[in-house]
Amino acid sequence: MRDGGRLAAAIEVLTEIESRHRPVRLALKAWGDSARYAGAKDRAFVSGLVLDVLRRRRSLAWRMGEEGARAAALGVLKFLWGWAIERIAEAAGEAPHGPGPLSDAERLALETPRDLADAPASVRGDYPDWLDASLARAFGEARAEEGAALAERAPVDLRANRLKTGPGKAMKALAPLPVRATGVLPEALRIDPPRADERAPAVEAMPAFVKGWVEVQDLGSQIAAACAGEVKGQQVLDLCAGGGGKTLALAAAMETTGQIYAYDSDARRLTDTIRRGERAGVRNLQVRTPAKPEPLKGLEGRMDLVFVDAPCSGTGSWRRHPDTKWRLTPQTLEKRLADQDLVLDQATAFVKPGGRIVYVTCSVLPEEDEDRVAAFLVRHPEFAVRPATDDPTLARHLTPDRYLRLSPRSAGTDGFFVAVLEKVR
C-alpha cells in the first residue's frame, strides 16, 4: 500500500470506532480481515496512526481547529510523526486511494496550528473534561503533564523468571532485540517503544519466552507485586488473578516455597494463569475456579498475604489502551468503586492475624485509590496502613499516607496505586 491508502484506511478505522463505539482492537481486526492485500508494514502503519490519534484526540482537535477522524489523522502525521506538509498533501490527494486533497483550511491548520499553551488542562492532557477534578486531586497543577505522559507510546517491559534463569542470561537470550535493564528491579527488563509506524518486537516468538525464561509484564505491575514484601514460605492468595501476571511474579518471588492460590470471579480468565504457570515452571500454585462450589473453602483465616489486584477503570493503562479513556463514563466508574469495596471486604475473611492485604489498582484516580482504602479502614478498624515499600529506590513514589503511586511521568511505568494493609488485631 502507498501512503494515501494507508491514511485512508486509518481514517476508515477511526470512523468505525467513533460511529459504532467499537473497541480499537476489534476495529483494527475487522479492517485487517477485509484488507488481505495489506502487508505487515501496512498494518503497523495503520495501527500506529489509529492509536496515536486515540492517544491525542483532544489536543489534535485543538491544534487543527476541527473535530473528526480526518483532521486528527492529518495532525498526527504533522505534529507527532514530523511529516512535511507537502508529503501529507501528496498522500491525501493520491488517486485513487487517498482520502482526498487537503482543503485550504486544513493546510492552514497544519502550517499555523493553535497554540496548546492556551488550551485547558484536559485538552493539553488529552483526557475527558469530567475527569479533571479527579486528576487535579491526584496531580494538582501537573495534571496536564501527567495526562500527556499517559498519552505517550509505552515500552515493552519484561520480567526475567528467576525460577528458570537470571536477568543476565535472559538478556543474552534476547540479544537480537534491543533489551536493556531498567535499573529499578533486578529482574525487570525493557524494550523501548518502536516508532509508531513500526511493528513491536515479536517477544513471544523468541525461544526465551517459549521456554518460560521471561514474561511480558509492565514495570509498574512488577513493582506492585514486589510490594508484597517477603513471601518465601508463606500462604498467598491472589484474589483477582485474571491472566496471572502478578500471580507468576509472586510465585517466582516465593521460589517454590509455601503455597500460592489463584482465584478470579471469571473462570475464563484463569485459563491463561494455568497455561502460563506451566510454562514458567511454577510448582506451588493451586488454581481455585468459581466453576466449582465453594472454591475458596478452607482458606479462611490462613493467609499471610491476600493480593487484591482490584477491577478498576484502567486509567493507568491509557498508553496501551487509549480508546478506553474515551469510553469511560461516570456510571462505569461508580460500578468499579462498588466492585473495589466488595473485593476488599471479601479479602478480610482470608487474612490471618499479622497477615496483610496488598490492594492494587491500575488507576490514577483517588476515588479508586486513597478513597477506597479510607472507606475500608472505617469498616475494618482491625487493619492498619503500612508503608507500601521499604525499597529506597521506590520510596520517592510514596505518598504522605504511605501509599505507592506510579505514573508514566513520575516512574516511567503504567499508572499504579498500591496500599499495604496489615491485620493488627
Pairing status of strand 303-309 against strand 351-361:
parallel
Q: Find cell 489486584 and name the residue.
A: 309
**362 tagged catalytic:** yes
Report the distance separating Cα 165 and Cα 167, nearest Å.
7
Q: What is the dihedral of CA 365, 369, 372, 378, to 10 degrees?
A: -130
Q: Find cell 492556551 and name the residue.
A: 118
Distance of CA 353 to the CA centre of its chain: 33
Report the distance separating Cα 123 and Cα 23, nearest Å.
22
Residues placed in the known binding site: 264, 309
The enclosing H or E element of 418 equals strand 416-423
Beta bridge partners of 356: 305, 422
Report the distance separating Cα 76 and Cα 87, nearest Å.
13
Output the CA–CA distances (angstroms, integers) from residue 378 to 330, 371, 383, in the order listed.
24, 11, 9
227, 240, 312, 362: the catalytic one is 362
Residues placed in the known binding site for S-adenosyl-L-methionine: 264, 309
Which amino acid makes up residue 386? Answer: R
Question: Which residues are marked as active site?
Answer: 362
